[in-house]
Amino acid sequence: MSRHATATKESLITGTTRSSGAGSAADGTVGALGEFGLIAALTARLPSGPLVDLGPGDDAAVVRAPDGRVVATTDVLVEGVHFRRDWSTAVDVGHKAAAQSLADVAAMGAEPTTLLVGLAVPSDVEVEWVLGLADGLAEECAVVGASVVGGDVVRSATLTIAVTALGDLHGRSAVTRAGALPGDLVAVCGKLGWAAAGLAVLTRGFRSPRIVVDAHRRPAPPYDAGPSAADAGATAMCDVSDGLLADLGHLAEASDVSIDLDGAALVPDVPLAELAPALGVDASTWVLGGGEDHALVATFRTRKALKKAGTQWRQIGVVAAGAPTVTIGGVEPAIGQRGHDHFR
pLDDT band per the 50, 70, 90 thresholds, residue 229: very high
Number of domains in the chain: 2
- Residues 74 and 210 reside in one and the same domain: no
State yes or no: pLDDT of 181 exceeds 70.
yes
CB within 8 Å of 103: residues ≥ 6 apart: 219, 221, 223, 239, 241, 294, 296
pLDDT in tens, 260-317: 999 999 999 999 999 999 999 999 999 999 989 999 999 999 999 999 999 999 999 9
Tell whether the model's pLDDT for residue 22 goes beyond 50.
no
Instruction: Say which residues have a Cβ less than 8 Å from residue 181's Cβ, sequence separation at least 6.
Output: 235, 255, 257, 299, 301, 319
Same-domain status, 47 and 19: yes
Same domain, 161 and 242: no
Q: Quote the pLDDT of residue 17.
A: 30
Q: What residue numbers bound the domain in which 196 lies?
A: 185-337
What's the CATH number where 12 sits?
3.30.1330.10
Query: For residue range 84-119, what is the model confidence (pLDDT) as tens digits?
Result: 999 999 999 999 999 999 999 999 999 999 999 999
pTM comes to 0.89
167 three-state secondary structure: strand
pLDDT for res 339:
57
Decide which of 117, 143, 168 is a domain's last residue.
Answer: 168
Q: Which of 107, 110, 109, 103 is nearest to 51 (CA)?
A: 110
Percent of the chain with pLDDT over 70: 89
Domain check: are 139 and 220 in the same one?
no
Alpha carbon of residue 275 to chain centroid: 25
Helices 35-43/127-144 angle, 10° precision: 30
Residue range 325-342: mean pLDDT, rounded: 77
Q: Is 252 a member of any domain?
A: yes
Question: For position 287, which CATH number holds?
Answer: 3.90.650.10
Domain boundary among 135, 168, 201: 168
pLDDT of residue 39: 87
CA distance 54 to 1: 11
**28-42 pLDDT tens trace:** 999 999 988 988 899
β-sheet bridge partners, residue 29:
126
Q: Which of 45-49, 116-120, 178-182 has the lowest mean pLDDT?
A: 45-49
